[in-house]
Amino acid sequence: MGSVAEQMVEVLRQAGVERVYGVVGDSLNPVVDAIRRTDGISWVHVRNEEAGAFAAAADAELTGSLAVCAGSCGPGNTHLIQGLYDAQRSGVPVLALASHIPSGQIGTGFFQETHPERVFTDCSSFCEMVNTPAQLPRLLRVAVQHALGAGGVSVLVFPGDVAALPAAGPTGTSHFLTEQAHAAPPWSQVQAMGAALNAASSVALFCGAGVRGAHAEVMELAGRVLAPVGHSLRGKEWIQYDNPYDVGMSGLLGYGACHEALHQAELVVLLGTDFPYDSFLPQARTIQVDHDATRLGRRTPLELAVHGDVSATLRAVLPLLEQKQDRSFLDELLNKHCRALEDVVGAYTRNIEKHLPIHPEYLASVLDELAADDAVFTVDTGMCNVWAARYLTPNGRRRVIGSFLHGSMANALPHAIGAQLGFPGRQVISMSGDGGIGMLLGELLTVAKYRLPVKTVVFNNGALGMIKLEMLVSGYPEAEIDNGDVDYAAIARAMGIQAKRVTDPAKVREVLAEALERPGPVLVDVVTDPNALSIPPRITAAQLKGFALAAGKTVLSGGVGRMIDLARSNLRNIPRP
């Protein structure tokens, strides 16, 4: 029957797992050896377990399958924390194997002793410890199904000596449920939603990641009630493309007329979004639709809570809706959206080839133009989030992965590792800030070791740009945000990665095009303007006072790339009398 560790690996293979991300060592050795001797599964040697958890999160998000990371006892598995929080909050199926000190030493203050079954409870939906061989394989199967069923993190803790013991029984087989049902709303809620939509003189839709797979239904709803459609950052990739009702994004990274649409509409409908920034929501006259009933009403008071999958809900309510005839609210917001974009588009179009340091807006817009139609972008937390929100153009095939809910720094490069291993033939681009890449710089060694064709584009402004913005709006002068003038291209070349440093804006397009065409890993280090910052579409008087106290030369708006073309196109499509 083999060992407990061999049983673990056999169950992982039954669940379709092909990779385990982690750093080998002591209490993990029985599992690593079992992987070495098992066909169809391999160990991915990252340089920090945190990166392994981030890589697993991206792998799971893109493939929809279970991804696995691992950490040895004590600091080995506590390093997993950031990536596991990211996976849990993003709702992607990740299993963490957290090995423990020898079972006879638990509770004695032994070398590297922690209590992983306590440590990981807040970043997982399942966390249990294997104390005896008899608990496997059943407990591991429970952990796997929790991750797949709940959409989040499971943690299996096991002492290293238990993993090396002989198995207590045969492994057997069991089917894992991977395809879940779509929740249909109660008919009473459908009727109430239909009545509210018919009664409202103006409606605005705000969409999150929960509209994935419901693009056609949302467009039909918007057309029926003549509603402007805004979105969160996580909703952007699923709803902005082929959308003649688009009015942009709200929130801290927002642009366009989304904020106005939500605050001026008689009725707001939140579709598949758990948007955390309640200050950007009207806090009144709102319907929310979500498949997770625990999210209903936790960001804003509701006139109606609807429990159901977005696509199923809209298919049920559409037959009840009357076709609205008055386009004035929709057309007014489409015009406001276009004007808002035109007012700031010059921020990245003026003096492009002369402006030094390079506009990060220009860099992002060129990257968007040159990237493949099915590219996967991984985006660092901070100002890279802003440039991704405003410049990456969704088309229904591209993916954008980031730590959008947990907000951890340094996620882009390890996310790119998991994305590339999950889709070896797909173009993967890491939009890395210099602060982020500096934090987990060692993962360039992982990229080099496996010759992963990740294209890492460093937005190198020599500072923690988002922290600078936070200090400015709070009235604090900037302090301790300087990252220094670091040549990341030189570092990458020393690791065996092809790399170039760009300081001349006239060279940006040429270097990016060459990098994206080259086989294997490439890093492009672009020196960008540290004063290119961005503020939300609406700011408070206190924030304005903060800018007045602390701001020097600061760009407060940013361009919006090809989205201005979409907005102008939508205006041309407005019916004329």
> Which pLDDT tens digit goes with each residue over 37-71?
999 999 999 999 999 999 999 999 999 999 999 99
Structure tokens at 235: 């909703």
pLDDT of 117 reads 92
pLDDT of 546 reads 43
Confidence of residue 465 (pLDDT cuts 50, 70, 90): confident
**CB-based contacts of 380: which residues, under 8 Å, 6+ apart?**
402, 409, 410, 411, 412, 430, 431, 432, 433, 435, 436, 437
What superfamily would CATH give domain 4-164?
Thiamin diphosphate (ThDP)-binding fold, Pyr/PP domains (3.40.50.970)
Looking at residue 159, its amino acid is P
Q: Which of 236, 237, 238, 267 is nearest to 249 (CA)?
A: 236
Calpha distance 513→526 (Å, rounded):
14
Confidence of residue 483 (pLDDT cuts 50, 70, 90): confident
Least confident of 262-266, 267-271, 297-301, 482-486: 482-486
What superfamily would CATH give domain 187-338?
TPP-binding domain (3.40.50.1220)
Q: What percent of the chain has pLDDT over 90?
A: 77
The residues spanned by each domain of the chain are: 4-164, 187-338, 348-570
Q: Which of 19, 61, 66 is nearest to 44 (CA)?
A: 19
pLDDT digits (tens, 9 = 90+) for 417-458: 999 999 999 999 999 999 999 999 999 999 999 999 999 999
Structure tokens at 485: 């003038």
Calculate the dihedral angle through the C-alpha atoms of 514, 519, 522, 526, rounding to the nearest 10 degrees.
Answer: 10
Element containing residue 255 per DSSP (H, E): strand 255-256
| Residue 387 and residue 433 in contact, taking contact as beta carbons nearer than 8 Å | no
Q: Tell how strand 94-100 and strand 153-159 pair up.
A: parallel
Of 545 and 383, the structure prediction assigns the larger pLDDT to 383
pLDDT digits (tens, 9 = 90+) for 345-373: 555 556 676 778 898 888 999 999 999 99
Looking at residue 107, its amino acid is G
Confidence of residue 551 (pLDDT cuts 50, 70, 90): very low
Calpha distance 398→278 (Å, rounded):
29
Mean of all residue pLDDT scores within the chain: 90
Q: What is the DSSP string of 328-367?
A: HHHHHHHHHHHHHHHHHGGGGTTTTTT-SSBPHHHHHHHH
CATH number (3.40.50.1820, 3.40.50.970, 1.20.120.420, 3.90.79.10) of 348-570 reads 3.40.50.970
pLDDT digits (tens, 9 = 90+) for 100-144: 999 999 999 999 999 999 999 999 999 999 999 999 999 999 999
pLDDT digits (tens, 9 = 90+) for 206-257: 999 999 999 999 999 999 999 999 999 999 999 999 999 999 998 877 888 9
Fold match between domain 187-338 and domain 348-570: yes
Least confident of 151-155, 186-190, 256-260, 472-476: 472-476
Calpha distance 242→246 (Å, rounded):
9
pLDDT (mean) for 90-94:
97
| Residue 230 and residue 207 in contact, taking contact as beta carbons nearer than 8 Å | yes
pLDDT digits (tens, 9 = 90+) for 294-313: 999 999 999 999 999 999 99
Q: What is the DSSP string of 52-119?
A: HHHHHHHHHHHH-S-EEEEE-TTHHHHTTHHHHHHHHHHT--EEEEEEES-GGGTTTT-TT---HHHH
pLDDT of 58 reads 98
**What 3 state SS string does 446-496 have?**
HHHHCCCCCEEEEEECCECHHHHHHHHHCCCCCCCCECCCCCHHHHHHHCC
**Distance, CA of 466 to chain centre:** 17
Q: Tell how strand 203-207 and strand 153-159 pair up.
A: unpaired
Would you report the helix, strand and coil content of the chain in percent, each value rounded to 5? 45, 15, 40
| Residue 166 and residue 132 in contact, taking contact as beta carbons nearer than 8 Å | no
Confidence of residue 462 (pLDDT cuts 50, 70, 90): confident
pLDDT of 258 reads 93
